[in-house]
Amino acid sequence: MCGQYTLFEDENPKMRGVVAEMNSRLESAGEKPVKTGIIKPTDRAPVFVANSGEILSCAMDWGYAGFGKSRIIINARAETATQKPMFSQGVARFRCVVPATGFYEWNRALPDKPRYRFGFSESPALYMAGLYQQTDGFPRFVIVTCPARGALAQIHDRMPVILMPDKLTAWLGNAQKAQEILHTGGAVPQQIPDLQR
């Protein structure tokens, strides 16, 4: 977890303006645009960060460079992130929010490995806790995960730390509250329709 997530603009129209403005900035700078729809590791995607108490949108690539030539690290475990050199600075100072409309998990215990999509049926907006790092190239992010709960626990053992809207500012701007969120694991998602796009 989490290996793919969705950001469908028709499900969350508020993101349309954010994505359009971000892609305009990227195009002006000669950079590739952010992706929407189904987002996979190494894709460039929109994220939110805090700057002087204000929440700003920016573009980052999904995945830290790993230790092998082609290895990409896409997740950080909430339970150990503060102890790992790769993530400890992120937990302390470089936290981000990854907007989505759902995320995927596969049931690898079944022969055909069916795919399930999780999120919130009552709200299209889903916010995942993330960490980021400034690199020599483009900034990169990872999604923070915790032990799976609810219906998801029958399919996979991990899930993203999901932030309710009233927790975004705490995650981004308060290191102590961010630690509390890591320990509680965030909100519990439910299975939602996979739109097969």
Instruction: Please tell me which residue, 143 or 155, carries the higher pLDDT value.
Output: 143
Which tens digit of pLDDT belongs to each residue from 88-120?
999 999 999 999 999 999 888 888 888 899 999
Both tokens of 55, joined, read 């929440």
Per DSSP bridges, beta strands 54-62 and 140-147 are: parallel
Across 123-147, average pLDDT: 92
Alpha-helical runs (H) found in 7-105 = 14-28, 85-93
Res 32 pLDDT > 90:
yes
Contacting residues for 148 by C-beta, under 8 A, at least 6 apart: 1, 155, 156, 157, 158, 159
Res 66 pLDDT > 80:
no
Per DSSP bridges, beta strands 140-147 and 75-77 are: parallel
With vertex at residue 188, the alpha carbon angle to CA 187 and CA 190, rounded to the nearest 5 degrees, is 135
Q: Measuring CA to CA, which residue among 35, 8, 192, 183 is closest to residue 105?
A: 192
CATH H-level superfamily of 5-192: SOS response associated peptidase-like (3.90.1680.10)
